Each structure stands twice: as C-alpha cells, then as structure tokens.
Structure 1
Amino acid sequence: MNMNTIGRTLLTRKLNLKVFQVNSLRTSMSNTGTGSQNWDDYPFLRNCEKETTNPVQGNVTGTIPSWLQGELLRNGPGIQKIGNDSYRHIFDGLAILHKFSLKDGKAYYQSRALRSDTYKKNMEANRIVVSEFGTYAVKDPCQSLFGRLKSEFTAVSSLFTKSNSAPDVTDNCCVNVGYYGDQLYAMTEANFVRQVNPETLETLGGRTNISKFVAVNSASAHPHILEDGTAINVGNSYRHAGGPHYCFIKVPPSFNSEKTSFENATLIAEIPSRWKMSPAYFHSFGITKSGKLIFVEYPLCLNLLGLAAGGIMQKSYCEWMTWYPNEKTRFHVISMEDGKVHPVTYETDQLFLFHHINAFEQDGELIVDVAGYSDGEWVGHITTKDTLNNGKFSEKASARRYVLPLNVESEKPGENLVKLKATTATASLRNGEKNPIIDLTPQDLSESMIELPRINYKYNGQNYKYLYGLGDTAPTNTYKFGMNVVTKIDIETGKKIEWVVEEGTMASEPVFVPDTTKVNPEEDDGVILTALLPCDKPTSVSLLVLNAKTMKEIARAEFAAEGAITGTFHGQWAQTGEKIHLY
C-alpha cells in the first residue's frame, strides 16, 4: 500500500467517524471524588508552577550513613496545565526532574522542568500543541485544512519510510533518567532523549533523535546497564520490509566526549511482531548474565494506521491501543551474542506488565520474574478523570515467576517440565504442534500488590533473593491512591517486611543502594531510598533512608520546596566517585 492510497483511505474513514473532542478535565476537580479531599494535592495530578532551581537544604532526623554520598535523580510528569488546557492522562504532564543530593550527612533538594521542544512549543502557544500518550493536542486553529492534512501525512510517512521528519512527536521525556557513560539523559518511550546537566538539571543542547543512529522508531525508557557501562535497550521498527519488528540495540558508553553516546549504537537483534500492523506495546524487558534477552509480547496492541492518522481522527496514542483478552501472551528468548531467537515458543494466559523484576538462567531453565497484571485493558483508561472518580487504579500488579525450560526436544507433551525446586510454576509441551510450544503457568511471589519493583542491581541477570517495591495494603490509609507501603520480599522463603507510609502520604519507587564499606557484602547490605510526598503539603517532600535488611528507618531529610512537588516514575542513584552508574 503506497502513501497516496493510505491517505485516501484515511480521509474516507474520517467522513464516517465522529470526531473526538478534547475537553479540559480539571474544571471541577475540587468537587470530584470522595469526601472533602483536594484532588489537586494528589502528587501525580499536581501542577508545578515554580521550580526549585537552587538547592535547598533539608532538615535531617536520624543519621545518614557516612558512606552514602551521591545523588538520587528522579523524573516524572509535573506540569499538568498550560493556559486553559489540561493533560488527560497521568502519563502526560511535562517532565520535571528532581535531585536529592547527599554529602557528609547533609541533604539537598532541587528541581527543574525539562526544556524539551515540546515544553517550548506549548509554552509559546500557551496551550497544549504537541500530543502525548493520552492527550490529543488540537492543532493550530489558524492553520488551513490543507496545512493540517499535510502535517498529518508527514507523520504518516515518517512511520513507514526512512524519513526522520516527525514534527509532532513528543520529546517530553518524563519517564526515566539515567547515565550513558558520563552523559545523563531524560527518557520516554519515543525516539527522542534529552541530555541533562547533572549538576544544575538544565537541559543541554537539542533533542537527540535515536532514529538517526540506529533503525528504530522508538526506544524504551528502561535500558539495562552492563558492568562496563554499555546500555542495552529495546525499541520498535515500523519500517521493516517484513512488517513491525521489536529491535534490541547496544549503546557503548561515552566518557569525556562532546558526541552523544548514541552515535555508536548498533542493532543486535530483531523479532517480528506476530500481529501485522498492530505490534504490542511494551515498557521494559529482561536480560540475563549469561547473555539472553527476554521480550514479553502481550496482546495490548497498537494500530499503526490508526496512530498515523491520529491527527485526522483526533485521537491520542493510547486510544489506538486495544487489549485482546483471547490472545495469549508470548515470551521470546534471544541470544545477545548472535541475535538469534530461541526456536521454542512460550505462551501463557492473560498477562500484561510494565516492569520486569529480574531474569536468570539455572540448570537449563530460564527464570523470569515480572510485576504482572491479569488484564491490560485499563492502561488507556488511567486518565485524570478516572483517577479522580476511582481514587485508585482498579488493576494491581503482583510479583510472578515464570520458568522456561530451554531444551525440550525429547520431552513428552502434557508433563510438567519445570525442574526448579521450591516453585509452583509449571511448563508443559503442547500436544499436536509442529514446532515446540510450551504453555506456562506462573508462581505468585507476592500475595499483595507490588509495583515499581527494584533489586540490588549488582544481582541483575543472576540468581537473587530480595525484591523491593511499592504496595497499597496499609489498612488505615484514607488516601486510597496506592503506593503507601514500601515492601521487601524474600523470594526464597516468601517472608515479607513492610514499612507503612504515614497517613495521607505517597512513597516513590524504592531504590536500593549497596553499602560501599562492605568487603564481602550480602545481597541486602545497603539502604533503600524513597521520596515521601504528603498529599496535604504540596511543597513538602522527604527523602527516607531505610535499612535494606530490616526495613527500619535510619534517617530522613525533609525539604521545603519553592513550588509543588510532583509524583515521579523512575530514577537512578549516582554514587560519588563511581564511573559506571547502575540501576
């Protein structure tokens, strides 16, 4: 199908479709929800109107360990309203970068908005003019119909050709932040990243278009960092001759270089999508120390033709995503060494996930741990409106373990092939199939909710014991938003230790920092860092330091910021003096 045919088809469809109108959802915020709660104070709905660009010193209680010297960098959506326009989805707000600095027992906080091209365009227009995941931006009303159609068809062309022209693709990198060598980048799920000054949080230079250096249309915001600083990531390619592919890339680290690390990026593996023109959405992937990559292809699919026509139909990215509950979720295993896909197909029922926890190989079996959901339909519906009406998300993730036997040539159908001890996970060869297909059932590693999972990253890709994450099981918490319990799970014994957040306070993703003073440290020798955001004090934030063994509080630093402190998704700790910064 050539581009003229696509264009005519999309125009014809437009005549038969009701135009989706974008409405502001914050007009009646204070009158929506339960009780007298002020919804504008919920951290992920706050609008930050003033940055804290100069570091403010925190009031420390307890004692911050003397070895804990460095910076916790975090990223998330923080500007929710521009002029009279408001973002519709909690993933969409303009990025705010946060930094907690620890030095000699003292703590400092600062924040700054990412000066992306998206930020600049929106601020100049005083309204939302660049679309995000769940927010369609109404185009310039002064632009002619021909001009608008031309702009949309340029976007169509950029998806399926080698053109790097994509004027309306967002570079609002509000999902994660991390180092590629000594270069700090803010990241999202598009093909753009933005370099950031780690000292001031100022945005450096123009946006980096990954597509110019390696053949991908996007890259995830969850790269894995190897011991030498090499980053491994996964992205999409919509331009492949065989249809959409999932592509793994390798980015060597750059040190003391004026060039971007991505100039040396290479493609190391490709997997074709099993749904033509509707590839699966994804957020992260797994990697093992032995050199295997794990990609989970779940049936939350993106209609590419619809996405390309998003401006004509006036629909956002997430409105072109569909969950197919009757389709199975598939695990792909790829060799990082030669890019070959393992010939065995692994499938399971009803699995969606944002975050991999860890993966490792043991005695011919691949163990894959994820924070999984039994449904993916809800992803497009966590809008500001739904958050206000429900007060919390309807779906909850739990830690799940899947065991994938790698060598199944001589196995009989129907038998449980899992040899790993102390697990209830199963794997069985499906009968009557020409090529081997293994049906998987998981082991539940957590009875209660667990999301934003983190581990001691030095154990990434190998056998490990401890998992940290956020839950929402606090029985006395009246702010029903979730993320009010910091949890540690012993995967071997099932033992769980919880640190319950104070009433009306939300915690951020727990970050494990290993104790640098230990000569032969145990896996949980270190601390957990998490930011605490009280819902009734928008300009207040605390950095909490927990003993990672006991989950007891060691110290906390409370800060009074210049403006509202907003919710964050992900971040990275950078220990002073270390050359390679892991997650």
Structure 2
Amino acid sequence: MSTNRFLAGEFEPVRAEYTEHDLAVTGTLPDWLDGRYLRNGPNPIADVDPDTYNWFTGDGMVHGIRLAGGEALWYRNRWVDSESTQRRLNRQAPDVAGRSIMRGIGANTNVIGFGGRTLALVEAGLPCAELSDELETLDVWDFDGTVRGGYTAHPLEDPVTCELHAVSYHFGMGDKVRYSVIGTDGRLRRHVDITVGGSPMMHAFSLTESTVVVYDLPVTFDAEAATTATVPRGVRPLARLAMSALVGRVPTPHAIASRLPPGRPGALPYRWDPDYRARVGLMPREGDDADVVWIDVDPCYVYHPLNAHDVVGGVVVDLVVHDRTFDRDRTGPSEGRQHLERWTIDRERRTCRRERLWDAAVEFPRMDDRFTGRAHDSGWLVGSEDGGMFGSLLARVAASGGGPVVRRFADGVTLGEFTFVPRADDAVQGDGAVVGFVTDLAANSTSLAVLDAQTLEDIASVRLPHRVPAGFHGNWLPTTSQ
C-alpha cells in the first residue's frame, strides 16, 4: 500500500487504455447534449517513488465520453504521448525540439476546444498537445509556431471576441510572466512580458472586459527539488548554485533550459515561500508592463478563480483561496483549508478588500463560460466536509449572495470538477446542465453524472467501464465546435 495519498484511493492510477461503446445510461440524456465531455489529469504510466511523487507531475491522461441522440456512444481514455509513453508503449511521441523549453511529462492539467482543435494543456514550459477526436496525440501544439517555450493550463476565451487569453510562466523567464492573446486564426496576436517578484508558480489568472488580473503569490521555484528530479547526482550542487543565481532574476537562455533532462513524475520544483511578497496586479488588456498596478494582499495562494468583472474604479473577483500550499506537504495541495472569497480590488486606492463568501472547503469553481469576464449569477464547486480536495459535496452558489444550493452524495463517493453546459447557445445564463465524474470507492466504479444546473437533481448517469482516478480539469466540447 502506498504511503503517498496521491497514489491511492481516488487517486490510484489506472494501468491501461480502454475503448468502450454503447455505454449504459440511467435516466434520459437530453438530445441537446451532442458532443464530448473530456477531462484531463495525472496518471503515471510507470511506478513512481511514493516518497517524492507530487500529484501535479504525473503523466497526462484524458478521459472522454461521446454523447449524441440521447445515447452514450463511447468512452475512451488515452495517455497524452510524451517521452514516457514512447518508452513504455513503444508509441512515437511528438518531437518537441525547438517547440517547448521542457520535455517529458505529457500535458496533464486541462483539455479544451479552440478553433476546431482539441488541446491538452499544461504549464511551466512543458509542451501542450493537439489530440484527435478519438483522443490520440497528433502533435505538439504551439499555435502554428507562434508560441514557443510553453503555454498555460488555464487560458480564457473571451466570449465576444473569441480570442484566447493566457498568462504563462516558466523558471527560465527570469522575473517575468507572459500575457498572450491568440487570435481567431489560431496564431499569437500580441504578448506582454510582465515583471513579477521572482519566479512564481502562476497557475491561473483572471480576465474582465478591460483588465488582466495577475496573481503574484508566494509559491516559487525550488532549485533543490528541480535538480533532484532532473540533474545527475554528481553535478547537482553546481546546478543548484547556478539555478539559485539565475532563476527569478534573469532569463535563462532557451538553449540551456531546453537541454535539461526530460521531466518525470516526481518532486514538484515549486514550494511555499513565506518571505515572498504576495500581491495582485491589474493591467489594461491593451496595456504593457509599465501599466500594471500592483496591490499587496495577505499571503495566500489561488489556483482557481471563478470569474472577474469590472466595477467603477476596479475589479471584483470571486475565487477559491488556500491559506498556503506546498509548505510541509510536498505531495499535493493538501495544506490550508480552501474556501470561496470575493476580492474587491480598487485600482486608485491600491487596496484589496477580501470577503469570505462561504466557509465550506471547496475547489474547482466553474461558471457559465459564455459570461467570462462579465458579471455572472452562479458558480458550481465541489468540496468536502473534512477540508479535503475531493469529497461528496456539490454546490451552486449565487453571485448575489444567499445560501448555496448543496447536494451531498453518499459516503464513500468522491466528485471531480463539474462543468456547466448551456441548453442552447442563446439560453439564458445558467440554463442547462452540469456534468462531472462521480466515483464510488467501495464499488471501484465511476459514472458521468448529468445534473440540472439549478437544482442539482439527477437528469441522467452514464456508467463507465472502470474507475476514473481523481484528476484536474474537464470541458464540454459540443459537436458544432469540433
């Protein structure tokens, strides 16, 4: 039995790829659910050292269910091809030379549809990938050669312009992170290098109609963990000295960074830094580095904002806040009870007023993506009674306040992130369903739950052929946008 909780229970990896057709459905799948639900997450393809393994570093695996005509047509799970799968499956991985700074772990964090493509995403300089409709890895995706050196796991598509916005980070960028805008032609339209306090892990950002919101928070690059994972033992002391002198200060030449050995599942090269200045930055969407307004906040960490929108004089952001992360426990985000907050950020006064919206331990907030950057009326979150990352609680919270609508599943059931699907493109905000994986640990089985977005009551359930490990992020890709 593993001593690492992120290798056991709901996190235990599956060891094979499956394809299953004509899945059993309980209830009635709506005809308007025509597309694929896809979800990405870590799934090490080989045995790993439980003493050093961090959940964020596992090889990527995408799980997908195709729904159409009231039926569940197929389920597939596929590793995102990388050097790891090439070694283990004898399957040619895409060539990343010159197209990404880092090599190794297959994109393991998110999967989206953009410009008719299916993209598996990751951050920190690792390569993203384009997948086929059947989830086979086609190639590295670098936006037609216009984005080199890695991307992000959490881009945001503006629902009006249909452009894709992102903030990307990598240890080789010195004291910079990069804001980028991908045009509707799938190519980079503009980018801005934003000066930050060092080399932070910047998992996500927020976007409004006017402003880019950047979270410069105290989880920073750890040279010791990085060299232990990638550098031969005999030269680790020298490598650590070099990294400590360069990282977070000056850019590391691409030619040097790209020659590091490929990353493998193991230690995460980022950790909590109590001495790092925590702050949030506001930059006009068409502005540059000199236009960023920085506002100090109390030390904390943000993985996942729910949404942001403009108000007179500033920005309001609803987001999940962790008191800290990767401090004593380096295996995963298990420290500091996470909760939902609202930050009202005043650009002129340079203040951030923090308001706790709910005391429950929740994560993976989602909303109606058709209103990204605009005022939203509902958000959906999963959580637990004991403060853990995954549990049996699903909730809809109203932006205007009031008590949440809560559904508690049975003991021994864990929930993944739930994604909102509108009933139609022109449906009113929040009219539709939420979909996500529900795992019964005692039965060792997983189903795709389709619930009414407002009441959280059952619409239908699709039983999958095996348990799906707890993972990160999923999205609904309607047939019309594939």
Determine if the TM-score, normalized by the shorter chain, exceeds 0.5: yes
- The 3 A distance-change label for structure 1 pair 547 and 188 is same
* Selected match of 1:194 from 129, 152, 158: 129
Contact 2:434 2:451 in 1 (8 A): yes
- 1:372 matched to 2:321? The reply is yes
- Residues 565 and 482 from structure 1, CA distance in 2 versus in 1: closer, same or farther, beyond 3 angstroms? closer
Q: Number of aligned residue pairs: give it.
A: 447
- Structure 1 residues not aligned, in runs of 5+: 1-27, 131-157, 255-260, 384-391, 409-437
Rounded Cα–Cα distance in structure 2 between residues aligned with 1:112 and 1:187: 16
Pair 1:219-2:151 in alignment: yes
1:338-392 deviations in Å (ceiling 9; x for gaps) = 3355453211112101111111101222112211111133486125xxxxxxxx9
1:181 aligns with 2:115: yes
Pick one of 292, 295, 302 that aligns with 1:346. Answer: 295
Aligned to 2:40: 75
Alignment partners' CA distance in 2, 1:566 and 1:495: 31
Residue 177 (structure 2) pairs with residue 246 (structure 1)? yes
Maintained 8 Å contact 2:317/2:342? yes
Matched, 1:232 2:165: yes
TM-score normalized with structure 1 length: 0.69
State the superposition RMSD in angstroms: 3.4
Match of 2:401 among 485, 489, 493: 493
Q: Work out whether residues 171 and 193 of structure 1, in 8 Å CA contact, stay in contact via their aligned partners in 2.
A: no
Report the Cα distance in structure 2 between the residues aligned to 1:379 and 1:548, rounded to whole angstroms: 38
Question: C-alpha offsets along residues 76-109 of structure 1, whole Å, 9 cap, x if unaligned?
Answer: 1223534999982222332221111221211244
Aligned partner of 2:392 in structure 1 is 484
Q: What is the alpha-carbon distance in structure 2 between the residues aligned to residue 338 and residue 394 of structure 1?
A: 36
Provide TM-score, normalisation by structure 2. 0.83
Q: Within 2, Cα distance between the matches of 1:368 and 1:83? A: 38
Is 1:530 the counterpart of 2:436? The answer is yes
Q: 1:165 to 1:482 in 2, by over 3 A?
A: closer
Match of 1:45 in 2: 12
For 2:471, give the aligned amino acid.
Answer: T
In 2, the alpha carbon distance for the partners of 1:103 and 1:448 equals 36
Displacement after TM superposition at 1:511 (Å): 0.3
Q: Residue type of the partner of 1:549?
A: Q
* Distance in 1 between residues matched to 2:39 and 2:137, nearest whole Å: 15
Q: 1:338 to 1:50 in 2, by over 3 A?
A: same
Alpha-carbon distance in structure 1 between the residues aligned to 2:423 and 2:89? 46
Q: Which residue of 2 aligns with 1:64?
A: 29
Contact 1:526–1:547 at 8 Å: present in 2 too?
A: yes
Q: Distance in 1 between matches of 2:23 and 2:58?
A: 27
- Could you tell me how far 1:51 is from its partner in structure 2? 1.6
Change (3 A) 1:210 1:303: farther
Matched, 1:286 2:218: no
Which sections of structure 2, spanning at least 5 residues, go unmatched?
Answer: 241-262
Q: Given the superposition, is the C-alpha separation of residues 341 and 500 from structure 1 closer, same or farther in structure 2, using an over 3 Å criterion?
A: farther
Q: Sequence identity, in percent? A: 19
Code of the residue aligned with 2:165 in structure 1: it is: I
Counterpart of 2:476 in structure 1 is 573
Checking the alignment, whether the CA contact within 8 Å between 2:45 and 2:85 is kept in structure 1 is: no
CA displacement 1:216-243 (0-9 Å, x = unmatched): x332111111234321111136666xx4
Alignment of 1:113-512 (within 5 A): 113-123=78-88, 164=98, 169-189=103-123, 190-198=125-133, 200-205=134-139, 207-208=140-141, 213-214=146-147, 217-227=149-159, 228-236=161-169, 243-254=174-185, 261=186, 264-275=187-198, 279-289=199-209, 291-303=210-222, 307=226, 310-312=230-232, 318=267, 320-342=269-291, 344-378=293-327, 381-382=330-331, 393-408=334-349, 438-473=350-385, 482-512=390-420
- Seen in structure 2, the aligned counterparts of structure 1 residues 319 and 362 have a Cα distance that, compared at 3 Å, is closer
Shift of 1:41: 6.0
Question: Structure 2 vs 1, CA of residues 123 and 87 (structure 1 numbering), >3 Å: closer, same or farther?
Answer: farther
How far apart are the structure 2 equivalents of 1:574 and 1:469?
Answer: 20
The higher radius of gyration belongs to 1
Say which SS state the counterpart of residue 480 (structure 2) adopts. coil
- Partners of 1:344 and 1:58 in 2: how far apart? 52
